Structure 1
């Protein structure tokens, strides 16, 4: 009997050790985000303040210089989570049958149509036949931009020349007069030298969207999307992921000076650009997935579809609220 108990005890010890070892070497959550757009600040704060790690999650961050990088990585199973990823890209992924679920809205449209101060252009309706700088096709900002130009002014893509580039390049194009107008975030505009004297805002995408939809709700352009396999394999951790993101949002709102310091280091931003981002944290970032948010996302899909950016129908199971709702109980 003593021998059997000794063997049983040894076996239990091995099982416990094995479980601990498995936990210690569990595959990390692979998180990807675009580092040349709106998600830069949110991602930099998440990394610097280790909000995922504080929830007990192992995490590996992957950075993508191209707006379509996170969606491509989701499709190839190179990452488990993308936040701030293009809404249009997320819709397209789900339509293609990629096993993903949308778990939160994370970025609000925050872009302006700008021209040089001495430009003869004073309205978005005057962009016919002009060169207009925007993010590459696939960006949700460009999806909104092309939709409002069509919906409010009847301007199809064939009616103007879309010049694609990341935002620093778009600012360069504008200053060098390689484009007649550009769609850029206020944070990028603020980094143009002497922007107050050199650049003029003719409208915002938010105002144009509200005019087109006759609604007061601005569209989301960035969302958090997770691979379905990870959600299935880690049901208890999904809420922790959303809790960490909500904590990062609250931290940025309460600590703009810390956001500035983080962005200057991670994004190599100027003092003025980083300060503008820190001051506008809550107008660019959110972590929300209430029923009203989902209604707005569905409406945005219909607008994209009407403008020809997307086709077909949305999968019925794309929107997955459970992690967000469960995160409300996580501290």
Structure 2
């Protein structure tokens, strides 16, 4: 009997260990973000400074070279959290019945319509029949860009040719005259050698949006989205996720030199581009989910819907403010 008791004790001990290991893996937060767009800098700082880990979270970062990668991964349950993910893509996922909740607005529009310095094009109204470089369809920037061209100038997608590419490629397209104009972030423009002499800004999407909506606030293009399963399995940790992101935001604002160093290493940015990104840190990044933010997101959905980018209605429970409110309250 004694050997049997020993075997039982060993089995029970192994079971406890197995359950502990399983529990650890179950609570791992799989985080995905797009590394060729606006979320790059914020993600690089989050990783380098280990803000999630400092909150006691086990985390696995997954990088996507394509703007639609994080939303696709959310849909297939390959990640639990995507931040800086395309607002248009996230809204579309929710309409398809994917079990997700939006927990924060994380990136604001910070893009310009740019042409070559010697281009005859002086205003967005002159883009009819032209080739315009933008991020791939599905990105928040392209959603806003196509919406303002339609809303302010009556330019439908059929009235110009949209040439898709990531931002470094768009800059290349423009310089090689493969497109007549491109929608790019100032950080990308700053990385073009002698950009002040070679390129000219004809409009900013933020100003164009305010003109179209008659609102004082710019739209969000990137949001933080979580799958319901992780939220349900880790109800006490969701606020820690928001706290980690808020601390990353504050760190970037207070430590511009550190942001430059991180971007040079993680993104192979040149000094000028990294400094420009650091200088624009608070113009691009945020972590907020107050009622005014939710109202802005709902308004953006209606604009996308009116422009044909999205259809239908949003799930009533899509906007989940509790983690953000708990984080603000220090819970």
TM-score (norm 1): 0.94
Is 1:229 aligned to 2:229, yes or no? yes
Contact 1:133/1:164 (8 A) holds in 2: yes
Structure 1 equivalent of residue 46 of structure 2 = 46
Instruction: State the distance in 2 between where 1:134 and 1:241 align.
Output: 31
Structure 2 equivalent of residue 288 of structure 1 = 288
Superposed, 1:1-331 pairs within 5 Å as: 20-330=20-330
Contact 1:31/1:79 (8 A) holds in 2: yes
CA distances 1:218-270 after superposition (whole Å, capped 9, x unpaired): 00000000001110111001110010000000000000100000000000100
Alpha-carbon deviation of 1:149?
A: 0.3
Structure 2's unaligned 5+ residue stretches are 1-8
Instruction: State the distance in 1 between where 2:320 and 2:247 align.
Output: 20
Alpha-carbon deviation of 1:29?
A: 0.5
CA distances 1:173-217 after superposition (whole Å, capped 9, x unpaired): 000000000000000000011001000000100000000001111
Contact 2:27/2:234 (8 A) holds in 1: no
Contact 1:32/1:79 (8 A) holds in 2: yes
Instruction: State the distance in 2 between where 1:115 and 1:179 align.
Output: 9
Instruction: State the distance in 2 between where 1:223 and 1:234 align.
Output: 20
Instruction: State the distance in 2 between where 1:221 and 1:278 align.
Output: 19
Instruction: State the distance in 2 between where 1:221 and 1:165 align.
Output: 17
Alpha-carbon deviation of 1:27?
A: 4.3
Instruction: State the distance in 1 between where 2:280 and 2:301 align.
Output: 26
Alpha-carbon deviation of 1:18?
A: 6.5
Alpha-carbon deviation of 1:330?
A: 3.6
Contact 1:240/1:330 (8 A) holds in 2: no
Alpha-carbon deviation of 1:329?
A: 3.4
Structure 1's unaligned 5+ residue stretches are 1-8
Instruction: State the distance in 2 between where 1:155 and 1:24 align.
Output: 52
Count of residues paired in the alignment: 323
Instruction: State the distance in 1 between where 2:18 and 2:200 align.
Output: 63
How big is the alpha-carbon RMSD for the aligned residues of Structure 1 and Structure 2?
A: 1.8
1:235 is paired with a residue whose SS is coil
Instruction: State the distance in 1 between where 2:45 and 2:330 align.
Output: 20
CA distances 1:46-88 after superposition (whole Å, capped 9, x unpaired): 0000000000000000000000000000000000000000000
Instruction: State the distance in 2 between where 1:135 and 1:12 align.
Output: 55
TM-score (norm 2): 0.94
Contact 1:67/1:138 (8 A) holds in 2: yes
2:313 is paired with a residue whose SS is coil
Instruction: State the distance in 1 between where 2:243 and 2:226 align.
Output: 15
2:248 is paired with a residue whose SS is helix
Instruction: State the distance in 2 between where 1:129 and 1:143 align.
Output: 19
| Alpha-carbon distance change, 21 to 307 in structure 1, aligned in 2, over 3 angstroms | closer
Alpha-carbon deviation of 1:112?
A: 0.1
Instruction: State the distance in 2 between where 1:24 and 1:307 align.
Output: 45
CA distances 1:115-138 after superposition (whole Å, capped 9, x unpaired): 000000000000000000000100
